[in-house]
Structure 1
Amino acid sequence: MQASGLSNFRYITSLSGQVLCTESADAGISLTLNDAAGRLMISISQICTDKGQDNCSKAVTQTFRYEGADSAGRLLSITEQTAGQDAQVTERFMYAGNSEAEKAKNLAGVCTHHYDPAGLMQTDSIALTGVPLSITRQLLKDADKPVSWPESNPQTLLSAEKYTTQTIADATGAVLNTTDAAGHQQKVTYDIAGLLSTSRVTVKGGAEKIIIKSVTYSAAGQKLCEEHGNGVVTTYTYEPQTQRLIAVKTEHPARKKIFQDLRYEYDPVGNVLCVTNSAEETRFWHNQKVVPENRYTYDTLYQLVSATGREMANAGQQRSSLPDISPFDKASYANYTRNYIYDRAGNMTQIRHSAPKTGNNHTTDITVSQRSNRAVLKTLADTSEKVEALFTPGGQQTKFQPGQTLSWTARGELQQVTPVVRNGAAGDRESYRYDAGSQRILKTTVQETGSRTQTQQVIYLPGLELHSGKENYQVICAGVAGRAQVRLLHWQDGKKDHQRFSYDNLIGSSGLETDGDGKLLSQEEYYPFGGTAVLVADADSGIDYKTHRYSGKERDATGLYYYGYRYYQPWAGRWLSSDPAGTVDGLNLYSMVRNNPVSFSDEQGLVAYPRTQIPGTSLYQPGISTGSDREIRGAKLIPPAANTVTELFKGEPVRLDDVLADSTLQQTPLLTDLINPAKVKMDSSTRSSLSAVKGGIMEFNAVHIPAGNNGINALRIIDTETSAFQRGKGTTLAYWVPQGGYADIPAHPENGQPQLVFTPGFSGCSFVADKLDDMTIRVRHVQGGKEDAEYNRLHASEHGHGMIGAMEYRDYGYHENYSGAVLENIQGSAFMKYEGDSWQIKYQRLKNAPGIVSMGEKTSGIVRKQQGLKLEIRHSRERSVVGTGSVPLMH
């Protein structure tokens, strides 16, 4: 939005660097205040700016209450209040004591009762590894009303039904057996490398069913072949040089039937150029040759601008409803072309669809606000001035089709959709309830048909869905089943159980389904940004039970896709609300996977990932870019600064928290030059630790150098050679990852374990994290040019379960200037921080990065009293932080 003279984000910080106020063009204004201990105390959101004046008429205030100073300081409750309404206690926390019974279940000090907006989540017991062994969920009696939990007897607001899930885990924390709330069991086994080997399900009172019969992996831990219990076998082929997936073949060998044979072609940077299904025949319709392939074209920013493929001849214009279903033997296909147009901020403004042979030619126009990246279909707002009125102050869309309204919770979660509005009568509606982590727990669909009201309800539990209403059945979700989402439908009234194996493509979209005997049930193909282009199935296939489609996500009756943290509208190619994770995926908070939906995927509605996902998990196949794949074509290298000088400055020790604040990182370079024995005096033990392959825990603080605008910050290791003066602002323990080495860190730090990870600066290197097991993450600093030796070609056991995130050269080594040109800046800095419930990689892009030549203490006086630090700095006035970013680790 810079070209329009507007800012995407503005920040106001405290003197210590803590962000107090964030003003987002897309997500509105929010305020946060911490207490003296650094804990979040007050958060205010949903503030909008109207004609330059802050409007708090819809503001939502969250207040956090903690234990007193004489206790552990744990969170006790969260209170929410919308302006003009009564305050509501939306969450309460109760903790176990230290009794023998509680210690026997490893519960001492653990939050055992968490009352959240959906009801109660109770932890009954946990393993020594921290894996919950038994949890119980209770829902609210009245799910239609907002809850306010009383301090005494909160259980009176709960329904009587309890849903308990039990787990058996091994000594490493790997789950072996799960019994869901309905009594169905899922069992998995692992090979010697800790990778999934087999999977079985036992319906309560029934016989055991094999889901995965066997899995074969490569030395790099990539899946090569998997055989399912229905006789269907899927094989995978990878490109040797890049380890990209280039072929997926799904077949039933015993019946000599090939269901799909997908072949992928890429450009040098990894964008998908062509997908061909060799299992399908080339067809002819109305003198038109229809080849079963999709081809894609990108602009210089790798946004998808053109796509060709096939669609059903009766497809019609894409809407929120599914197209008509055609039988396998009667389907006719036609070629289509789709072109996409974007504005400078990455907002899609037009979708042009062309299928000349069928006359299915139409254009979808999208109107974008002049003040933000908010946008809606032109049928909702024909001018940009009307767009803002269709959003809440926090950036949630309130209408998505003419006459169809959306309502939201105070936390920015979609609460209800009204797809049909009737004058003088109740309309159809679909409403949702979420837990404390904003994950959907309950869905209720109400349809008014004459004098009757039909209600269908879904309760989402671990590994289980409970459907009730016009039809009562259970869905057992066998989530760990390779590239197949396996769903077992079970009716308690005696109706025969039904298995549905769903096989997906590169980005997780469900392409075909087979039943428990390996019979083909349905086949579906999608337009690039979602929407069904092909849907064929026989009459007895039970296609209505297929709920997971594009990207492997659940498609609601509204046509919206639920991703976990957000809802996606495929007919517009954009999210329904602003990104709750902020700028982790760019400054445009509504853009879908950076407008590259063929090569990128989004697991939770937060951030795009260009990685090959390990099926059935949130992990990725270990592999980082090498050679020319690390480059962005057309980028111009920033020339060396012409006015570089070497100067002496007086530095001062500063608090590490101030240096690592987001607002500071956005303007002040963070260097690691002082973690270098050649530049700073260190003891022999520290020198040895820095040169080791495996890192560990070390003591750190920071130094600020007042060189130029905003100065320079540098990390400093503390050891026996560090003076008391340099320790003056306090020190912090953190994990250290050597260049070319690694460190093992806890997935969830506790009992005083460090919550920071430091490593040397970056100039072509990569920062990668693998999930070794449920308790441990291995973090590597992979040197540029050594990606294969130090990461890609390591034994599978070195990667554990798989990659959970990486910062590569393309992330920090390039940036876009104000005119839109892509420049290569080469250098960056990065560290890891544990925030909320997960680790994040945070990084800077540095232009003409400064360097520290040496550092010493400046002393004076008879007793040689320390007065400051003397640093020799080589820098340029042209240096700057040209961008920051973060990579959330999916663990």
Structure 2
Amino acid sequence: MNISLFSNTPTVTVSDNRGLPVRNVVYHRHPDTPQVTDTRITYHRHDARGFLAQSTDPRLREAGLANFTYLTSLSGEVLRTQSVDAGTSLALSDVAGRPCLTLHNLSPDKDDPPVTCTWQYEDASLPGRPLSVTQQLAGAPARIVERLVWAAPTPQAQAQNLAGQCIRHYDTAGLERTNSIALTGVPLSVARQLLKDADNPDTVVDWLDEDDAGLEPSAHTTLTTADATGAVLSTQDAAGHKQRMRYDMAGQLAGSWLTLKGGTEQVIVKSLSYSAAGQKLREEHGNGLVTTYTYEPKTQRLAAIKTERQGSGAKVLQDLRYAYDPVGNVVSVRNDAEATRFWRNQKVVPENTYAYDSLYQLVSATGREMADARRQGQGRDHPALIAFDDATYTRYTRTYTYDRAGNLAQIRHRAPATGNSYTTDITVSERSNRAVLSSLAKDPTEVETLFNASGQQRMLLPGQSLAWTPGGELAQVTPIKRDSGADDHEHYRYDNARQRVLKTSAQQAARTTQTQNVLYLPGLELRRTLSSGKVLEDLQVITVGEAGRAQVRVLHWLAGKPTDITNDQLRYSYDDQTGSGALEVDGAGG
């Protein structure tokens, strides 16, 4: 590491005579030009009462624009936020400080009308809990998109610890019903009912009352048991598959098991051990693989993750070694389980290295890739007379370029031995930090038209449009738009916590429509593929909630199982420090 690159590059905060920060100063140097220092100043302005009124980054300051402008109440609550990226929004609270009214997407664009949200609460004789949320697009009638029902203190409710709790929460996906709660507050029985025609993107909700006529008759119920501390001991998902967990005296996971419906219990995590600091040292899984962890003695940063098969057929499958700079940025990751290879006068080491500028932005990365790897969509053939196999790797270098506000502006990839070199340019607006691939817009003045007033992107790639819900969630993607006939599309529904509950996709092919539905439930995904009403595949994906570092899934087919795949197989995915899956094995560790 070039220490001089970071020499005399402090972060400086300048305060006014009230002690309020008015300038943040940073010093940028790039490893390629360490002698050049760019001083970047972020400006802040406060009003007479000391509340933040405006913030401007170094890039937009040159254009005479402010990133954020705030209007606050007498108490300092932000009433109006004007953002060059997220647009203008208004927010009002009632006298109790509860959200009362919000307006966003304020724009004259008829295709993206302003959205008003209002909250309704219990009257003063009751605790003042929320009863409903109403949403209204300009020029359209108001719709109640959420309704909450609270349990009265009846003997039946008290027996399930429900008195005073929200027991029915209607949302844009349907109904979430709570049937029982532990004394510690852990929900013990929760059911999800979908809307009728939930897979139709034109179906909208308006919960004027507790009307279940608009719901599917079947409910998907998840059951949980917990101990006196609130730790989950077992779960049963909506398909009847059970998971069981055990903890040590410190409350840390000590083991976990899975029982498929109608099957026998399987060990997922056999044992775990921890250091005195609570960090994992060793874990053994039910597939026979053991993962050990090593930490730097002074900083306690993760230094190594080693996953190996012991006993018969012993083999080290993954042995990641990490190196850091003084502030904790990863500068190299080496996998000692992989061999160093030689190809076309290259020494290809199983190692990734990373370099940063003085602001700790990643500016370059090196590593190895399969020699037959090509950029997605790249149709160019490989150079002549080069033969590849699954064991042929080549080195690559990837560099990253940023503007003065930290926006990523370019990615350049080079693998000289195979000619797999390409550049991805990103066009950033002159009036905001909104950015798109250059394939969508090369001129910075054209970028703003590709976003709505709230800063949501209208198009992913040329010809692939995006649509958004009034609440700001992604509503629909249209990957293929046809001049005649139905488009290919994928749309989504969300629960009251803005988590995705349902995904429905439709593709047109050979005069038929193939539809795929995915229902996301706790620990379970229900996937069904249909063609012209006929079920082609019915798949349950069981996700083990407590599996140590590994991510464990089970694929359980009810119909349409591929002939070359075993049903109910366990899949262990072992991740790296960032949580990216780097190794996958089956239930036998193979």
TM exceeding 0.5: yes
Aligned-partner residue type, residue 143 of structure 2: Q
- Structure 1 residue 57 displacement after superposition: 6.2
**Using the alignment, how far apart are the partners of 1:423 and 1:223 within structure 2?**
57
Aligned to 2:227: 170
**Using the alignment, how far apart are the partners of 2:121 and 2:104 within structure 1?**
21
- In structure 2, which of residues 526, 534, 551 is the aligned counterpart of residue 485 of structure 1? 551
Aligned to 2:510: 450
- In structure 2, which of residues 69, 72, 76 is the aligned counterpart of residue 10 of structure 1? 69
Aligned to 2:346: 288
- Structure 1 residue 479 displacement after superposition: 2.2
- In structure 2, which of residues 277, 295, 299 is the aligned counterpart of residue 242 of structure 1? 299
> What is the SS of the residue equivalent to 1:425?
coil
- In structure 1, which of residues 162, 174, 186 is the aligned counterpart of residue 243 of structure 2? 186
Aligned-partner residue type, residue 528 of structure 2: S
Aligned-partner residue type, residue 556 of structure 2: H
Aligned to 1:505: 576
- In structure 1, which of residues 463, 471, 476 is the aligned counterpart of residue 537 of structure 2? 471
**Using the alignment, how far apart are the partners of 1:57 and 1:404 within structure 2?**
18
Aligned pairs for 1:411-430 within 5 A: 411-430=471-490
Unaligned segments of structure 2, at least 5 residues: 1-56, 383-387, 530-535
Aligned-partner residue type, residue 555 of structure 2: L
Contact 1:47 1:56 in 2 (8 A): no
Aligned pairs for 1:297-696 within 5 A: 297-318=355-376, 330-469=390-529, 470-493=536-559, 496-519=567-590
**Using the alignment, how far apart are the partners of 1:163 and 1:421 within structure 2?**
34
Aligned pairs for 1:746-825 within 5 A: none
**Using the alignment, how far apart are the partners of 1:447 and 1:203 within structure 2?**
32
> What is the SS of the residue equivalent to 2:486?
strand
- In structure 1, which of residues 121, 139, 151 is the aligned counterpart of residue 194 of structure 2? 139
Is 1:24 the counterpart of 2:79? The answer is: no
> What is the SS of the residue equivalent to 1:156?
helix
- Structure 1 residue 145 displacement after superposition: 2.9
Is 1:77 the counterpart of 2:151? The answer is: no
**Using the alignment, how far apart are the partners of 1:49 and 1:274 within structure 2?**
50
- In structure 1, which of residues 217, 227, 247 is the aligned counterpart of residue 284 of structure 2? 227
Q: What is the TM-score normalised by the length of structure 1?
A: 0.56
- In structure 1, which of residues 184, 200, 204 is the aligned counterpart of residue 261 of structure 2? 204
Q: What is the TM-score normalised by the length of structure 2?
A: 0.84
Aligned to 2:209: 152
The C-alpha deviation readout for 1:350-398, integer Å capped at 9, x for no partner, is 1111111111111111100011110001110110110011011111111
Contact 1:46 1:56 in 2 (8 A): no
- Structure 1 residue 37 displacement after superposition: 2.2
**Using the alignment, how far apart are the partners of 1:63 and 1:32 within structure 2?**
10
Q: 1:146 to 1:6 in 2, by over 3 A?
A: farther
Q: 1:184 to 1:500 in 2, by over 3 A?
A: same
- Structure 1 residue 304 displacement after superposition: 0.3
Is 1:161 the counterpart of 2:218? The answer is: yes
Is 1:98 the counterpart of 2:153? The answer is: yes
Aligned-partner residue type, residue 457 of structure 1: N
Contact 2:146 2:207 in 1 (8 A): no
Aligned pairs for 1:849-860 within 5 A: none
Aligned to 2:142: 87
User: How many residues are treated as equivalent by the alignment?
Assistant: 510
Aligned to 1:562: none
Aligned-partner residue type, residue 34 of structure 1: S
**Using the alignment, how far apart are the partners of 2:539 and 2:337 within structure 1?**
35
> What is the SS of the residue equivalent to 1:492?
strand
**Using the alignment, how far apart are the partners of 2:511 and 2:92 within structure 1?**
52
Q: 1:152 to 1:58 in 2, by over 3 A?
A: closer
Q: 1:27 to 1:49 in 2, by over 3 A?
A: farther
The C-alpha deviation readout for 1:467-522, integer Å capped at 9, x for no partner, is 11131111111021111110011123596211100000010000010000101xxx
**Using the alignment, how far apart are the partners of 1:14 and 1:225 within structure 2?**
54
**Using the alignment, how far apart are the partners of 2:539 and 2:436 within structure 1?**
37
Contact 1:115 1:149 in 2 (8 A): no
**Using the alignment, how far apart are the partners of 2:367 and 2:97 within structure 1?**
54
- Structure 1 residue 153 displacement after superposition: 4.4
- Structure 1 residue 295 displacement after superposition: 0.7
Give the CA RMSD over aligned residues. 1.9
**Using the alignment, how far apart are the partners of 1:339 and 1:496 within structure 2?**
43
Report the identity percentage. Answer: 58
Contact 2:151 2:162 in 1 (8 A): yes
Contact 2:348 2:395 in 1 (8 A): yes
**Using the alignment, how far apart are the partners of 1:313 and 1:290 within structure 2?**
11
Unaligned segments of structure 1, at least 5 residues: 520-891
- Structure 1 residue 331 displacement after superposition: 3.5
Aligned-partner residue type, residue 133 of structure 1: L
The C-alpha deviation readout for 1:50-99, integer Å capped at 9, x for no partner, is 9xxxx996211001111112222111110101122221110001111111
The C-alpha deviation readout for 1:741-780, integer Å capped at 9, x for no partner, is xxxxxxxxxxxxxxxxxxxxxxxxxxxxxxxxxxxxxxxx
- Higher alpha-carbon deviation: 41-50 or 285-294: 41-50
Aligned to 1:43: 102
**Using the alignment, how far apart are the partners of 1:7 and 1:174 within structure 2?**
47
- Structure 1 residue 48 displacement after superposition: 4.3
Aligned to 2:175: 120
Aligned-partner residue type, residue 285 of structure 2: H
Q: 1:466 to 1:57 in 2, by over 3 A?
A: closer
- Structure 1 residue 318 displacement after superposition: 4.3
Aligned-partner residue type, residue 336 of structure 1: Y
The C-alpha deviation readout for 1:820-844, integer Å capped at 9, x for no partner, is xxxxxxxxxxxxxxxxxxxxxxxxx
> What is the SS of the residue equivalent to 2:175?
strand
**Using the alignment, how far apart are the partners of 2:348 and 2:322 within structure 1?**
18
Contact 1:28 1:395 in 2 (8 A): yes
Is 1:67 the counterpart of 2:122? The answer is: yes
Aligned-partner residue type, residue 490 of structure 2: E
Contact 2:170 2:207 in 1 (8 A): no
**Using the alignment, how far apart are the partners of 1:27 and 1:245 within structure 2?**
37
> What is the SS of the residue equivalent to 2:229?
coil
Contact 1:354 1:361 in 2 (8 A): yes
> What is the SS of the residue equivalent to 2:558?
coil
**Using the alignment, how far apart are the partners of 1:186 and 1:405 within structure 2?**
40
Aligned pairs for 1:53-64 within 5 A: 58-64=113-119
- In structure 2, which of residues 164, 169, 184 is the aligned counterpart of residue 129 of structure 1? 184
**Using the alignment, how far apart are the partners of 2:217 and 2:163 within structure 1?**
27
**Using the alignment, how far apart are the partners of 2:377 and 2:173 within structure 1?**
32
Contact 1:28 1:49 in 2 (8 A): no
The C-alpha deviation readout for 1:664-717, integer Å capped at 9, x for no partner, is xxxxxxxxxxxxxxxxxxxxxxxxxxxxxxxxxxxxxxxxxxxxxxxxxxxxxx
